[in-house]
Structure 1
Amino acid sequence: MKYRLELNSDVLEKFAGESLIDSLTRRFTYQNREFWLGKIASGQVRVNDLVSRPDHALVVGEVVQFAIDDFNEPDLDTSYQKIWENENLIMVSKPANLPVHSNRRFYYQTMTAILRRDEKLPDLNPMHRLDRETSGLMLYLKKPFASRSLRREPGRIIGAKFYLVLVNGEFEHESLIVDEPLREAACPPVYYLMVVAPDGRPART
């Protein structure tokens, strides 16, 4: 699907005083300095909705805006199911291959963005996350005040998480605890694939 993508970034105190071009180059390293200079010159990068200069000194409270015409997202399966809800929470079943949060390729087609639009709840946020490739149940907080109170004690709501895993062959154990360090694979077939590695972080599954 193609659409006009508009991204906004608030200028925080730690960015104040930086030039617009230096800030863009340092923070958004997936493009080089020449790319950002071209976008500023064409008016695609603005400050407070006004055309700006590369040497503009950023001020706390300003908003840097970047617009991409005809942004193209690959079509995804967005057919989620609402399982349950009350005044504070919504439980949904997320399909596989649908990201929870926005990333460099997907902004409109994410579980969070879709649910915010469908429920007309711009402050809705997930209590936890699932990898893009993983399908399963997710809990969302509907209100900011609920987010603050429930996030302090997520165990009140989520006592444990269970995953169903498909394996090749026959699994030899009725149950098994894996106590090995994990890190991201160097060249994973899917995003954020974790592998056992001596230099990984401690993990127990």
Structure 2
Amino acid sequence: MKDIHKPAPKQGVNPCVVQIPPRRGGVPVHNIVDFLCERLPLVSRAQWLARLAAGGVLNAQGRPVAAQDPCPPGSWLWYWREVDEEPDIPFEAPVLFRDEHLVVADKPHFLPMTPKGRYARHTLLARLQATLGLDTLVPIHRLDRETAGVVVLCVRPQDRAAYQQLFRQRQVRKVYEAMAPWRSGCPWPQERHSRIVESPTHFMQRVEAPGEPNAHTTIELLAHDTHWGHYRLHPHTGQTHQLRVHMNALGLPLCGDRIYPLLQPEPPAGAAPDFSTPLQLLARRIEFTDPITGQVRTFSSQRTLQSFSDLYTVYTL
């Protein structure tokens, strides 16, 4: 791919690339639109024709191609993901910090990190690339769409490996806060060690399973009333849904969790999520020694979770 020239994002959405494969069984794909319809059938022929007419598909050199242009095997095409009826996410992600190496944002609940599935423009990365004019910006870690809080993004491609290495080597200290049920007689703090694997029945869920632990979380109780607790969580590992799985395994599923203990259906295409019941999980603070500058970096979210009184009106036990 050394001769490929990556185009700039459009409205903050990075381009995708697809290669035209060798002809199968000697049967040629006659033109660009036929190939795109065969390779990416979730987009209708009419939509591909409209994108091609608008210059929305480029060759490897960054020049627009036409619907009836031939398809040389081995060549590459650039295109941009577009989502029909993409739900608007009406919450902002303020920038907490910016220098030549890093951008730190305070992500709201419901905003996806990167374009995927039913979201393209309404994602943290797309918005920041568009508003800051930083086409090279990429996240160096991730938060679930439902989780709010601190997100660190890398500005320069040459710095990415060094920052990502921090997470691989567990040299980043992360602190979360959560609201969940409270149960008397449960000792605090707790060290939760377990093995987290994919659920055999629900692809979205993870479960604890026998075997060598691969997930470790320290859980502290900060405050409680007769039904709800305010918790601080320190994940020492980074398994998918680790905090949600560990709290659910204790019988204390997070308020607003649409995956644990029961997987809830997604809203219909084009419909917005129910913004009234956000997942009560917040990435409060992140700390690390910057591998580029040597500085100790500490970034904290300015967001808050629901109060105890609010929990009674919004969530059910």
Structures share a fold, TM > 0.5? yes
8 Å contact kept, 1:91–1:139: yes
- Among all aligned residue pairs of Structure 1 and Structure 2, give the percentage whose two residues are the same amino acid: 19
**2:208 alignment counterpart:** 196
Contact 1:93 1:137 in 2 (8 A): yes
- 2:66 counterpart residue number: 51
Alpha-carbon distance in 1 for matches of 2:97, 2:13: 32
Change (3 A) 1:185 1:5: farther
Residue 3 of structure 2 is aligned to residue 16 of structure 1 = no
Work out whether 1:65 is the aligned partner of 2:67.
no
The letter for the 1-side match of 2:192 is I
CA distance in 1, matches of 2:108, 2:157: 26
Unaligned runs of 5+ in 2: 1-10, 24-28, 217-317
- 2-side partners of 1:101 and 1:67: how far apart? 12
2:159 aligned with 1:159: no
SS in 1 for 2:176: coil
The answer to whether the Cα contact below 8 Å between 2:13 and 2:80 also exists between their aligned partners in 1 is yes
Which stretch of the first structure deviates more once superposed, 105-114 or 142-151? 142-151
Rg bigger for which structure?
Answer: 2
Letter matched to residue 16 of structure 1 = P
RMSD of the TM alignment (CA)? Answer: 3.8
Q: In the alignment, residue 180 of structure 1 is paired with which amino acid? A: R
Aligned to 1:116: 129
Q: Deviation of residue 105 (structure 1)?
A: 1.3
Question: Which position in structure 1 is the counterpart of 2:191?
Answer: 176
The answer to whether the 8 Å contact 2:129/2:135 transfers is yes
Aligned to 1:134: 147
Q: Whole-Å Cα distance in 2 between the matches of residues 6 and 127 of structure 1?
A: 17
Letter in 1 for 2:196: P
Residues in 1 aligned to 2:98 and 2:50: alpha-carbon distance in whole angstroms: 44
3-state DSSP of counterpart to 1:161: strand
TM-score by length of structure 1 reads 0.69
**Cα distance, 1:195 vs structure 2:** 3.2
1:167 is paired with a residue of what secondary structure?
A: strand
Partners in 2 of 1:168 and 1:11 — Cα distance? 47
Report how far residue 103 of structure 1 moved.
1.0
State the Cα distance separating 1:93 from its structure 2 match: 1.1
Q: How many residues align?
A: 188
Distance 1:6 1:55, change over 3 A: farther
Distance, in Å, in 2 between the alignment partners of 1:142 and 1:157 is: 21
Change (3 A) 1:158 1:126: farther
Residue ranges of structure 1 left out of the alignment (5+ in a row): none
Specify the code of the residue in structure 2 equivalent to 1:122.
D
Counterpart Cα distance in 2 of 1:197 and 1:100: 29
